[in-house]
Every structure is written in C-alpha cells, then in structure tokens.
Chain A
Amino acid sequence: MSTDWTPDQPLVSIQNVHKSFGDLEVLKGVSLDVRQGEVICIIGPSGSGKSTLIRCINALNDIQSGSIKVRGIEVNDKSLDKLQLRKNVGMVFQQYNLFPHKTALQNIMMAPVKVLKMDRQDAMEKARALLKKVRLEGKEDSYPGELSGGQQQRVAIARSLAMNPQVMLFDEVTAALDPETVKEVLTTIKDLAAEGMTCILVTHEMGFAREIADHIYFTDRGVIIEHGPPATFFDQATDPRTQEFLGQIL
C-alpha cells in the first residue's frame, strides 16, 4: 500500500467533515477516530446524518470539506483511487442489496473473482468457508429471493468479508428484519467483532450497542453531541438531548 499509515494511527480518521445535499447541511463538522480492532456504534434520531457519515467513509457520498482517511487514504481527494479505498472498506446495507440474479455462493465469489482477479477455485472455496462462518451451509445454490431477510443479510456480510476489508461498515443492518431474525445477524456481527474486525455500526439496537461497542457516538442534526464508552455513555449522559433520546428508547 502506497500510504504511510502505521497501526498506531487511527484506522479511520474523520476530521471536521461537512456534507450538504443542496441547501440542506447534513453533516456540520463531524470528527471521530476509529482504531484498528475497535467497534464503534453511531446512534441518534432519524435524519441526524448517521448513515450519510458512514456512506462518506467509502465514498458513496462525497463530502464538501474536511478529511476522511482510511488507512491513510484520503477520501476527500479528486484523484482518489476508489477501488483501492473500497478494497479496504466493506459495507453492509439496511436492504441487504444482494445481486438477485446470482446464487448466495455467486454473490460472495463475484467481487473476489472480478475485482481482485482471484482464482475461481480459490474464490469458491473461500466463499464456502464464509457461508459456513455466517452459518449458512447448504444455502450455496439458493437465490436471494429464496432466503429470509436474516439469511440474506448474512450472505451480504459474507460477501463483504470476501474482499478482506480492514474495516466493516454496517448501516442499520437489522432495521428491515423481523425481530426473530435480528438476533442471528447480530450474532454474526458479534463473532466478527470478537475476531478483531474493526467495525463501524449505525444502529438502533441499543442493547446490542451497549454490549458490543467500545465507544458510542450520539449524533443529532449533523453534529456529534456526546460520546464515550457504553457504560458511561448510557448511564451518565450529560447532554439534555442525549438524555431525551435515551429516555425515549430505553
């Protein structure tokens, strides 16, 4: 990698990021750092800019000013090599967004074969191993349309992992799921975190956030209001807006 990143620096470093959609300013100077192996959760009311923030990390949205660095790669750069960035960043979406015309196995294999030019046979073995990891053995040949929401989401996680990302972004990945299937997806994410994967999650699952996160960020109207380790954050929130939000959902 052509960057001067070293493991003692934050893996993802976000500095004073501003982002507008037309006249609407969605991010008003957000800064946060994520170290390698850390799991952070971003919580906050709808429309507070949580999803926009993590979509900026892999350049699905561009930013107006500020800096986002992933492993030393500056995202806010006209000459950004998006491929290089996206090899480092895996993303899982609320609506799974699997390729509906490909089987579960093909969904996972596709990017390694076409983007990383991995050998087909190796990619297939890897895809099988990943399906096993997300506890979906036997579903290799099922199409997304034949899988439940929770199963699809786990395939989506496996699909991202197949690219060997350095950091995983989870954008409200359980928000579209039935209550019964939420757990299986959360378990998968927990396993990942336990293995040391760096994760950035946008979530409404407070219990889960408390359990899994090393650090919680609370955003409202485009700014980070308050942040801290889960224990202090949930029990000793000082800002009235945080207290109000937590009061509504806990």
Chain B
Amino acid sequence: MVQSIQNWFQQLAETHTKWNFIFFYDPVQWERFVSGLWMTIKLSFICLILSVIIGIVGAWAQGAKNPFVRWFVQGYIQFFRNTPPLVQLLFFYFALGQFTPTYSPDGWLEIPIISNVGWAIISLSFFAGAFNVEIFRAGIEAVPESTTEASEALGFSRLQTYMYTVFPLAFRVSLPALNNNLVNLVKTTTQAMAIAVPELLYEMVSIYNDYSTAQNASMLVLFISYIVLVGILVLAMSRWEKALQIPGVGEA
C-alpha cells in the first residue's frame, strides 16, 4: 500500500516535472516533512495553552485594585498588540537572547539555556496572550454586575467570585473570539522560521531549496496541512463550546 503510493508519486514526478512530491516517496524528505509537522503541532499546542493562561491571569489582573498592576497589564497589551509579531520574535531571540545565561555541556560549546524553540514559544505565547486578555476582558464585562454582587453578598472573596462565577460565565461568552485568536496563533507559528525553528514551513522551504522541482508540491502540501490543522482546532473548539452550553446562558 505505502509502496504503491510512493511509486505513484515518483511516477508523477517523472511525468510532470513541476509536481515533484519528493517528501512522499523519498524517506529522508518524508522524515523532514513529518518532523516539521510535529514541531508545528507542538509549538501550536504549547503556545495555545500558555496564551490562554496568560489571558486568564491578565484579565484577572486588569481588575486589580493596585493601579500599577493595571498599568503593567495595559502596557503589556499595548506593546504586544500594536507591534508586528515577527519583530517581537526577532527582538526576543536576538536582543534578549544575548543576555540569557549559557551552559556548557563539554567545556567548549556555549549553549543558551533558552533555545530558539524556547524563544518562539515565549514570544508567540505573549503575542497571542495579549489578545486573549482583551478577549476575556470583554467576556468579563458581559457578566452582569448583579451576579458578582450576589456572589459577594454570599461571602465569596474577589478571587472566589472570579474563579467560580465570573470566569466560567465570561469564558463561555469569550469562546468564539478566543477561537479566532487561536486559529491566528497556529498560523503565526510559521514565523518561527525566521529564527530557524524547524517547524513545517521551515522544513518545506528547505526541501524545495534542495529540490527546486518540489516547489509547487511543497506549497500545496503546506496549504493543505494548515487547513487540516486549523480545521481540527476549530472542530475541537466548537465541540467544546457546545459541551459548555447551558440552558439560558448566552442565549439572550
């Protein structure tokens, strides 16, 4: 089965020289494609989780009594929302990367404790996180003040009110917008290529740099791969949205 698929693509490359899907029959290139895809999935997944955590904490901090905390969150949002993510990535890796400590496994090499993958995760998480703070804030504002008051009147602290009432309600309101932002995040992971993170785009570009006949094929497979990845995410999110639905909540 696998053999026949490989043969078919090899045949195709011979008859149509502009459509060389080399990664589907050459085991070495296949390895590159798969490792790139896996890196993209890992990168997306980790950044997704971190950015949501940043969003939750940030939205909580935005309501803090201390004005410095609020200004800090506001400054963070303004910076990450109003500058290009690619510039942020380069800044993190090249500027901040210089100041991070290094370690030496063999006495000769100097390896920074934060790798390029590490910087990509940090940079992309903060980028998407800034939007998530705003998304959750909008959700929190949609929770009626009276519901919060009822919770306070029962003796709940501000943190308990946020955890048990405000956030669960705000989250449901925020899901569609969060969905959009996370889709964007998955697509933005391609920018990690700029600091040589071996994700899918990086690997595919490397392949067609090595085999120019594979260019069209690589592009096509790139598009399809992202459509599938984002499709899975959107499907999972809308399932989640349905699962969280409660009679009388968010219908008005």
Contacts and interface: CB of A to CB of B under 8 A. Distances in A.
Interface string B199-222: 000000000000000000000000
A56 B236 CA distance: 46
Given A86-B154, A115-B155, A146-B247, A110 B164 contact: yes
A95 B172 CA distance: 21
A159 B165 CA distance: 15
A156 B150 CA distance: 9
Majority-rule SS of B interface residues: helix
Given A91-B153, A144-B248, A160-B154, A101 B168 contact: yes
Contacts of B155: 82-83, 86-87, 111, 115-116, 163
B156 interface: yes
Contacts of A146: 247-248
B156 A101 contact: no
Given A60-B153, A86-B155, A114-B160, A97 B147 contact: yes
B248 A111 contact: no
A233 interface: no
A93 B164 contact: no
Contacts of B157: 83
B251 interface: yes
A143 B169 CA distance: 14
Contacts of B251: 145
Interface string B138-167: 000000101101111111110010001100
Nearest to A110: B164
A160 to B, nearest CB: 7
B249 interface: yes
A234 interface: no
Contact of B156 (A58, A93, A100, A114): A114
Given A99-B165, A114-B160, A143 B248 contact: yes
Given A93-B149, A145-B251, A163-B155, A100 B160 contact: no
A145 B157 CA distance: 25
A60 B155 CA distance: 11
Interface in A24-40: none
Place the interface of chain A in its size category: 20 to 34
B246 interface: yes
A69 to B, nearest CB: 18
Interface string A115-147: 110000000000000000000000000011110
A98 interface: yes
B201 to A, nearest CB: 40
Contact of B146 (A83, A87, A95, A115): A95
A237 B228 CA distance: 77
Interface string B160-202: 1000110011001000000000000000000000000000000
A55 B50 CA distance: 40
Assign chain B's interface to a size class.
Answer: 20 to 34
Q: Is the interface of A mostly helix, strand, loop or mixed?
A: mixed
Contacts of A145: 246-249, 251
Interface in B31-57: none
B252 to A, nearest CB: 9
Given A110-B164, A114-B160, A145-B248, A97 B154 contact: no
Given A114-B156, A143-B247, A145-B248, A98 B169 contact: no
B100 to A, nearest CB: 42
A159 B248 CA distance: 19
Given A86-B153, A99-B151, A114 B249 contact: no
Given A111-B155, A145-B251, A163-B155, A98 B164 contact: no
B249 A86 contact: no
B152 A143 contact: no
A115 B156 contact: yes
Given A60-B149, A93-B146, A93-B149, A101 B249 contact: yes
A99 B154 CA distance: 12
A163 B172 CA distance: 28
B249 to A, nearest CB: 5
B154 A101 contact: no
Given A60-B153, A101-B168, 9 more contacts: A60-B149, A97-B147, A99-B147, A99-B165, A100-B249, A114-B156, A114-B160, A115-B155, A163-B155
14 contacts: A82-B152, A86-B155, A90-B153, A91-B153, A99-B164, A101-B246, A111-B155, A116-B155, A143-B246, A145-B246, A145-B248, A145-B251, A159-B154, A160-B154
The 9 closest A-B pairs by CB, nearest first: A145-B248, A97-B150, A111-B154, A86-B155, A145-B247, A115-B155, A91-B153, A143-B247, A97-B146
